[in-house]
Amino acid sequence: MTRSGTAATPRDTGDGRAGRLLEGAIQHLPAAFALVEAPSGRVLLRNEQTTRIFRIDGTPGTGIAGYSPFVGFHPDGRQYQPEEWPLARSILQGEMVSGEVAEIVRGDGTRGFIRMTSAPVQDESGAIIAGVVTFEDVTEWLERERAARTETEAALKTRDEFLAAASHELRNPLNALQLHLEGLRRIARKAPAAFSWPALLARLDKADDQIARLVRLVDALLDVSRIKDGGLVLECDEVDLVAIAKDVLQLIEPAAAGIPILLDAPERVSGVWDALRLEQVLLNLLSNALKYGDGKPIRLSIQARPTAARIEIKDEGVGMSPDIVSRIFADFEQLTPDRRHGGFGLGLWTTRQIVSAMGGDIHVQSEIGKGSTFVVDVPYRPAATGLEQSAHVAS
Amino acid sequence: MSHPKPPVPSVLIIDDDSGSREALAELLVDEGYDVATAEDGAEGLAYLRVGHRPRVILLDLMMPGVDGWDFRAEQKRDEELAHIPVIAISAAGKLLDADYSLRKPIEIDTLLTLLRDVMGAPMG
């Protein structure tokens, strides 16, 4: 908004009231204000804020050279020379400066940031007779901005890591699927007669397996995305953990390919849980045990403890170093360069999120060459807060 | 060529992903190559150390246990094995000192051309 100087001047009533009003207004401005004479730079008028922001007592020395007690730095770290301050540029060169930010060293030695706006004041002939500057302390605002930016950058980094992880996870089944189809195409082109129908069907079944894997991965990735976006919503009901475990064992039997999974559990362990999510936890941990279990038997035990049900999944496979153990549940770690020894997918991350949403706890004991034991404790009821709405307790 | 060609050019595939490993093995067998597979770097090294000498190694990088990077370092330390060319095939990551690098999903024509360049045409 631009107004002419005349329109903004309070009407002079002849008793000096207008002048006092103007000065009062300047003193109470939320920003620092100074009016200086041109070209000398002598301060004609300034408000308290100038002292408060710079924490320098008394009026600065005469003229532009007198600005030297004000210590400020350009963004490139160069110190402001007296004639480089916006106000000096306005009265010397007629420059309009809008929102220039400088780091300052205050009179008490502390550092901060100010944002300055200055303009020349011209007479009817266009000659510069004065200059005005306003400035404000933006230190806190900048700090908040910086914190917000750091937060945004962290969120973007997580999203990038997620996309990289997703892309990596999807490439293996895509690769296998493409190889199967390309293999079939090559045979069809070169020697179709040499290929039997059963062999063709076997190849198609294998391609199908890879599609099923892709679907599972896409589901898992969507889960991660869902958890990241809004957390997990649990659909809780009174269910029997042992029955769920037995269902999961049936589900995983083909993948186990003959590797025994021994269940050690009481007849029934009831609680108010999200059955599908518990099933997912068991499936993830058992798949993991099969993958790294070196083909040896896996033990799944369920115990009814006083406040929580305990699930233990123990394999006697390759095990993990303490370094990997400390990081396996961390966020999308598998693609960080030092994680190349790991090879775990998103499953464990998702598992931990589910267990946490249930108010439970998951940890792992592992030793290289001896295997790993994942221990999950899930309280019998969801925590009182947050989950009540979706908990339907069968009475 | 100064040295005689072996009867069937042999390839060792090292990949922990069974789907990729088996699909690639089947395709290369169909193309006339003699193929051996290993589930990780340790198994690959064991295969080589009992005396097998494939003409090319197709090496996945991200594997549990002895991964592609470790395998390559170990292979280069072993004078008997250092000369075997390695084609790195990975869904993520890079092996800077691989002889060649391909990214999953593999471009089949590129791989077959590469194999022919490295060790000549397969039989059959």
ipTM of the complex: 0.83
Query: What's the pLDDT band for A191 if we cut at 50, 70, 90?
Result: confident
* pLDDT above 70: percentage of residues in chain A: 87
Range in A150-154, A216-220, A292-296, A308-312 with the lowest mean pLDDT: A216-220
pLDDT of A89 strictly over 90: yes
- Facing A213 at nearest CB: one of B16, B19, B108: B19
Chain B closest-CA separation from residue A176 CA (Å): 4
Distance CA A115, CA A295 (A): 67
Q: Are A112 and A106 in contact (CB under 8 A)?
A: yes
Res A224: pLDDT: 74
Model confidence at A256, pLDDT cuts 50, 70, 90, reads confident
| Nearest one of A260, A312, A327 to A281, comparing CA atoms | A312
The answer to whether residues A118 and A90 touch, using CB atoms and an 8 Å cutoff, is yes
Q: List the single range of A79-83, A158-162, A195-199, B84-88 with lowest mean pLDDT.
A: A158-162
Q: Do A340 and B93 touch (CB under 8 A)?
A: yes
Contact B63 A343 (CB under 8 A): yes
Over chain A, what is the mean pLDDT?
Answer: 84
User: Is any Cβ of chain B less than 8 angstroms from the Cβ of A237?
Assistant: no
What is the pLDDT at residue A387? 42
What was the pLDDT predicted at B122? Answer: 67
Q: What is the pTM of this model?
A: 0.57
State the sign of the Cα–Cα–Cα–Cα dihedral A95, A101, A102, A108.
Answer: positive
Whether the CB of A175 is below 8 Å from some CB of chain B: the reply is yes
Nearest chain B Cα distance for residue A225, angstroms: 21
Q: A195 at the B interface (CB within 8 A)?
A: no
Across the A:B interface, residue pairs with CB atoms under 8 Å apart total 87
B92–A341 C-beta distance less than 8 A: no
The yes-or-no verdict on residue A382 having pLDDT over 90 is no
- Among A157, A172, A168, A213, smallest CA distance to A331 is for A157
| pLDDT recorded at residue A385 | 46
Closest CA relative to residue A94, chosen from A118, A72, A70, A74: A118
Average pLDDT for residues B51-66, to the nearest whole number?
Answer: 90
Give Cβ neighbours of residue B44 (< 8 Å, ≥ 6 apart). Answer: B12, B14, B38, B57, B59, B66, B71
What tokens does B37 get? 């597979």
All residues of chain A having their beta carbon less than 8 Å from the beta carbon of residue B106 are 175, 178-179
Q: Is B106 a residue whose pLDDT tops 60?
A: yes
Instruction: Determine the distance in angstroms separating the CA of A183 from the nearest CA of chain B, rounded to an integer.
Output: 5
Instruction: Please give the average per-residue pLDDT across A10-24, as a whole number.
Output: 75
Tell me the per-residue pLDDT of B62-83, one tens digit each, with 9 for 90 and over: 887 888 999 999 999 999 999 9
The answer to whether B111 contacts chain A (CB < 8 Å) is: no
Give the residue on B whose Cα is nearest the Cα of A343: B64
Mean pLDDT throughout A352-379? 93
Residues 134-173 of A with CB under 8 A from B: 164, 167-168, 171-173
CB < 8 Å to B23, chain A: 175-177, 179-180, 183, 206, 210
The minimum CA-CA distance between A174 and chain B, rounded to whole Å, is: 6
Contact list in A for residue B92 (CB cut-off 8 A) is 164, 167-168, 171, 335
Alpha-carbon gap, residue A222 to A197, rounded angstroms: 37
Residue A62, Cβ density class (10 Å: 0-12 exposed, 13-18 middle, ≥19 buried): exposed
Query: How many Å apart are CA A106 and CA A236, to the nearest integer?
Result: 59
CA separation for the pair A43, A225 (Å, rounded): 60
CA-based nearest residue in chain A for residue B92: A168
Higher pLDDT, A224 or A132: A132
Residue A344 pLDDT grade (very low, low, confident, very high; cuts 50, 70, 90): very low
pLDDT band at residue A254 under the 50/70/90 scheme: confident
DSSP single-letter state for residue B29? H
Residue among A240, A307, A223 at smallest CA distance from A275: A240
Distance from CA of B77 to the nearest CA of A (A): 20
The secondary structure of residue A236, as a DSSP letter, is B
- For A253-260, what is the mean pLDDT? 87
Chain A hits for B26, Cβ within 8 Å: 179-180, 183, 203
Mean pLDDT is highest, among A23-27, A47-51, A314-318, for A314-318
Q: Is the pLDDT of residue A185 over 70?
A: yes
pLDDT at A345: 58
Confidence band (pLDDT; 50, 70, 90) for A343?
very low
Residue A6: the pLDDT is 40
